[in-house]
Structure 1
Amino acid sequence: MELRHLRYFVQVAEDLHFARAAARLGISQPPLSQQIRQLEDELGVRLLDRTSRRVTLTYAGTMFLEAARRTLAEADAAATVARRAARGELGELRVGFNASAPFIPQVAAAINSYRLRYPDVQLALSEVAGPAQVGAILADALDVGFLRSAAPPALPPELTATRILRERLVVATRPDHPLAGRTGLRLADAAAHPLVVYASDRSGGFTEELFALMRATGAEPRVAQTVREVSTLLGLVAAGVGITVVAESLCALQSAGLVYTALGDDSAVSAMWLVHAAASPPVAANFVAIVTEGAG
């Protein structure tokens, strides 16, 4: 039994006329009669009573008609699911991000745009340190990830990275700190003061890159405190424990009552990258397309 047999039977049952049903189906009457007969033979049940004047449903045919309609509706629904899934309109998208990614306007706008365009895709958002994102994507635990790195991240051939944003590094201080608002502020100046920084296992490599930049100027970083959360990082700076260096996008956190001063060094830059499989599933490919529309 095939779906076409059910479609043929339903059309005949609704028209109760073989010629009209055949016309609606776009086939000639003899093949239609043959298909209905084959269906009845396969079932071992007569579905239709035929005379020279009329066609009527048997009791079994009436019951079969209801079941056939349900089966066809379910088959049509299954086909719709398959087509929508192939277009990336259904399923789940698993996104990893570092602590600063949500503060980047392009990232926030992309997530919002994706939700609006693909409301039937479930978004699973997870805060994951940069290097761990790469392993999670390779292990099929994440589909895409936002990670921060000044240079293009080193990736296996299965993965690719697109730069979303390149931005300056800034120094966050209390308003009464001597570096607050200083013109021509340099990395070496910041290194001379106690620093509050992310712990290495939470920084996604940012802390290590920052220290390398400072050491390249001949200065040695002075760490006052390591932290695990961005709120703690800025809170301790506000408390006067030290200063910190962050990406410019974090200047959006003005509620901390801090002053953000740009660093003048040419090397004092960072970048945000979108990492994903080179051959992404449809839900991820759609997200990548939206994000890269605003990439810079």
Structure 2
Amino acid sequence: MLELRRLHAFVAIAQEGHITRAAERLGMQQPPLTRLLQGLEAELGVKLVERLPRGVRLTTAGQALLEEAHAVLERAAGVAEVVRRADRGEQGRLGIGFTSSAALHPFVPRVLRRFRETLSGVSVVLEEAGTGELMDALVHERLDAAFVRSPLSGTPGLQVVPILSEPMLLALPVAHPLAQEPGAPLRLSALAGEGFVLYRRRVGLGLYDAILVACREAGFSPRVVQEAPRMTATLSLVAAGLGVSIVPASMQRLRGDGIVYRALSGCPGLSAPLHLATRVGDNDSVLRRLRDMVAEDAASEAVHPPLP
């Protein structure tokens, strides 16, 4: 395999037409440069230069090598730049997952758009799935990061970083009596007799538990009449009149027909967190850039909340 330093030396000699001047250009002594040339000739088994009274000139073999040497050195420089870009987190591939409710929070599409605009050399693969499916994809390295609502407690090998938290709202069928009342916050205890539509616990995890705890603290156990496979599917069931639900405030962005949203009171601990989940110890440079960007945007949002 040809050594790049020998090719660099040969190109300098060919361009200068003089070994001493080539040595000066390369910042080295003439004898070591001569040895590099001789080593290259020995490796290839051909004479590459002819000595003249004042300098050297390329042989036919030397001319052929010069054309190839330029291409090889240019390609080598390109490879080095690719490696440096990857080390800076500017090139590579990143698999990012998100739950349907997480994707509805404006923070997630905003940070993904900024990531793609800033790091155009990174190939981003996106996947929407339930929390359990995303956790499995992270553990088995099919994804590198995921925006989730659950803190993922008890999942070995995974870690979460809290990003932000938003209030949860009551979702009502438009014909429900409570939907006809003024829009003042409704006490959670007023829902004691209602049938609830909730997302399955293995999908909602932390949010499902938070709703149960908040209801019990308000003095009742919720009567769950229907469970949905996705958080977004709960709204279709609410619109169909099957019951009421409690969902993250950002889900209002769906603007589904037949649904009215009301703020809740008397439940100070009821909120919907957003987390970034990754594997423990995964310090890939591209992933670091995503983490940094998420942290920057979360800090900015805490100081300057976006307008509703």
Scaled by the length of structure 2, the TM-score of the pair is 0.86
Partner secondary structure for residue 294 of structure 1:
helix
What's the counterpart of residue 100 of structure 1? 101
Against the structure 1 CA distance between its residues 39 and 273, is the aligned structure 2 distance closer, same or farther, given a 3 Å change threshold?
Answer: same
1:294 correspondence with 2:297: yes
Structure 2 residues without counterparts, runs of 5 or longer: 303-308
1:273 and 1:26 map into 2 onto residues whose CA distance is: 54
Q: Which moved more, 1:285-294 or 1:128-137?
A: 128-137
What's the counterpart of residue 64 of structure 1? 65
1:284 correspondence with 2:287: yes
Identity, % of aligned pairs? Answer: 36
What's the counterpart of residue 170 of structure 2? 171
1:231 and 1:38 map into 2 onto residues whose CA distance is: 69
1:243 and 1:19 map into 2 onto residues whose CA distance is: 87
1:1-296 pair list within 5 angstroms: 1-149=2-150, 152-154=151-153, 158-180=157-179, 181-256=182-257, 258-264=259-265, 265-279=267-281, 280-295=283-298, 296=302
Partner secondary structure for residue 179 of structure 1:
helix
Partner amino acid for 2:160? A
Q: Which moved more, 1:236-245 or 1:179-188?
A: 179-188
1:196 and 1:96 map into 2 onto residues whose CA distance is: 25
Deviation, structure 1 residue 153: 4.2
Partner amino acid for 1:46? K
Partner secondary structure for residue 96 of structure 2:
strand
Partner amino acid for 1:6? L
Partner secondary structure for residue 242 of structure 1:
coil
Q: Which moved more, 1:126-135 or 1:268-277?
A: 126-135
**Aligned residue pair count:** 294
1:10 and 1:177 map into 2 onto residues whose CA distance is: 83
Partner amino acid for 2:241? G
Structure 1 residues without counterparts, runs of 5 or longer: none
Deviation, structure 1 residue 277: 3.0
CA deviations on 1:248-295 (whole Å, 9 max, x unpaired) are 111222243532111111122121111223432111111011111122
CA contact (8 A) 1:98 1:204 kept: no
Against the structure 1 CA distance between its residues 191 and 247, is the aligned structure 2 distance closer, same or farther, given a 3 Å change threshold?
Answer: farther
Q: Which moved more, 1:234-243 or 1:104-113?
A: 234-243
Partner secondary structure for residue 241 of structure 1:
coil
2:152 and 2:31 map into 1 onto residues whose CA distance is: 67
2:36 and 2:218 map into 1 onto residues whose CA distance is: 85
CA deviations on 1:134-178 (whole Å, 9 max, x unpaired) are 3432332221122213xx542567543221111111001234422
1:190 and 1:292 map into 2 onto residues whose CA distance is: 37
Deviation, structure 1 residue 233: 2.3
